[in-house]
């Protein structure tokens, strides 16, 4: 099959975690529109996942909802089994699920620390491990993609920007970055491409208080040289590219999609 830029994921089977809201929902929709069959993972809101699935199907695509808590080994395995039973193979995993449990460091409970590490880091480990097992067990299909499989780890600008009051979250994303790179190094020879996306400030439920009021948004914009808050679709377009053969030589890298947030905007007035 020749690469079709209008349907860059044609024939691919993709599982997106945390896909019932925010960035994950936008990625699932964009993947459907790009020609992929999509597994829409959710943890607790079947009606939201159902809406995403119906929208993809309504646009002529293929999709199914899959319930699983990504921090639980048994549920992750069952989810990948159900995906395989429905779609036959796996070409792309987007490990996107994530949570915040913010607290000043001295007040942070072990439960807050553990929940963030369990979902953001261990959840990505469990899903990526399951994906790698499936990629290695199935025959590559060059008519669908040059790579044997692709994994996209949803990171954050906080894989490099320290974040006071969010030590658990920044630690989880720093961990995601080196997990992603080490895994990419380990499996590239098997034709598996592992990459990360580091969003800046994207308008989703996870950070509502950062953009909800004009005052909060003005403060946030001071951190964004490009002078707008990102939208989930900004990340979805990057994910489609990373999952497609258009990025076939991109291996083990983090793609920052952040409006310049990692450019030390505090130095703008200081030249």
Q: Any idea which residues carry the catalytic annotation? A: 169
Q: Does 122 bind ligand NAD (CB under 6 A)?
A: no
Q: Which stretch binds ligand NAD (CB under 6 A): 16-24, 83-91, 216-224, 249-257?
A: 16-24
Instruction: For the CB of residue 90, give the shortest distance to ligand NAD in the complex, in Å.
Output: 17
Q: What are phi and psi of 113, to 5 degrees?
A: -60, -50
Q: Which is nearer to ligand NAD, 212 or 248 (CB)?
A: 212
Q: Which stretch binds ligand NAD (CB under 6 A): 4-12, 187-195, 204-212, 247-255?
A: 204-212
Q: Does 259 bind ligand NAD (CB under 6 A)?
A: no
Q: Does 22 bind ligand NAD (CB under 6 A)?
A: yes
Contacts of residue 195, defined as CB under 8 A and 6 or more positions apart, other chains included, come to: 150, 151, 152, 153, 180, 184, 242, 247, 250, 251, 252, 253, 254, 255
Q: Does 177 bind ligand NAD (CB under 6 A)?
A: no
Q: Does 126 bind ligand NAD (CB under 6 A)?
A: no
How far is 207 from 210, CA to CA, in rounded Å?
A: 5
Q: What is the enclosing helix (H) or strand (E) of 255?
A: strand 254-257
Q: Does 206 bind ligand NAD (CB under 6 A)?
A: yes
Q: Which stretch binds ligand NAD (CB under 6 A): 31-39, 81-89, 94-102, 188-196?
A: 94-102
Longest CA–CA span in the chain (Å) reads: 59
DSSP string over 55-93: HHHHTT-EEEEEE--TT-HHHHHHHHHHHHHHHS---EE
Rg for the chain, CA atoms, rounded: 18
Q: How many residues bind ligand NAD (CB under 6 A)?
A: 27
The answer to whether the CB of 176 falls within 8 A of the CB of 125 is no
Q: Does 78 bind ligand NAD (CB under 6 A)?
A: no
Q: Does 112 bind ligand NAD (CB under 6 A)?
A: no
Instruction: For the CB of residue 51, give the shortest distance to ligand NAD in the complex, in Å.
Output: 12
Residue 64's DSSP bridge partners are 39
Q: Does 130 bind ligand NAD (CB under 6 A)?
A: no
Q: Does 69 bind ligand NAD (CB under 6 A)?
A: yes
Q: Does 254 bind ligand NAD (CB under 6 A)?
A: no
Q: Which is nearer to ligand NAD, 98 or 145 (CB)?
A: 98
The answer to whether the CB of 90 falls within 8 A of the CB of 134 is yes
How far is 154 from 139, CA to CA, in rounded Å?
A: 26
Distances (CA, A) of 147 to 37, 190, 235, 250: 17, 9, 22, 11
Q: Pick from 32, 63, 64, 96 the residue near ligand NAD by CB under 6 A.
A: 96
Q: Which stretch binds ligand NAD (CB under 6 A): 81-89, 203-211, 215-223, 239-247?
A: 203-211
User: In the complex, which residues of this chain contact ligand NAD (CB under 6 A)?
Assistant: 17-18, 20-24, 42-43, 69-71, 96-99, 119, 123, 154, 156, 199, 201-202, 204-207
């Amino acid at each position: 099959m020749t690469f079709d830029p209008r349907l860059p994921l044609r024939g691919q089977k993709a599982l997106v975690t945390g896909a019932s809201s925010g960035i994950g929902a936008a990625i699932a929709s964009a993947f459907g529109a790009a020609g992929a069959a999509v597994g829409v993972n959710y943890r607790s809101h079947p009606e939201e996942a159902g809406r995403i699935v119906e929208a993809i199907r309504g646009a002529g695509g293929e999709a199914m909802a899959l319930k699983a808590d990504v921090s639980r080994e048994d549920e992750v395995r069952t989810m990948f089994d159900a995906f395989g039973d429905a779609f036959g193979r796996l070409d792309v995993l987007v490990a996107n699920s994530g949570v915040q449990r913010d607290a000043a460091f001295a007040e942070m409970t072990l439960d807050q620390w553990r929940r963030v590490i369990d979902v953001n880091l261990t959840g990505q480990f469990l899903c990526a491990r399951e994906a790698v097992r499936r990629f290695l067990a199935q025959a590559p299909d060059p008519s669908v993609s040059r790579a044997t499989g692709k994994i996209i780890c949803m990171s954050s600008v906080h894989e490099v920007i320290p974040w006071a009051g969010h030590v658990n979250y920044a630690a989880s994303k720093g961990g995601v970055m080196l997990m992603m790179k080490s895994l990419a190094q380990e499996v590239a020879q098997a034709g598996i491409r592992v990459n990360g996306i580091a969003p800046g400030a994207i308008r989703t439920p996870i950070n509502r208080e950062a953009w909800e009021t004009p005052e909060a948004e003005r403060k946030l914009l001071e951190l964004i040289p490009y002078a707008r808050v990102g939208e989930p679709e900004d990340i979805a377009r990057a994910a489609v590219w990373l999952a497609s053969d258009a990025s076939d030589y991109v291996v083990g890298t983090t793609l920052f999609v952040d409006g310049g947030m990692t450019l030390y905007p505090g130095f703008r007035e200081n030249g």
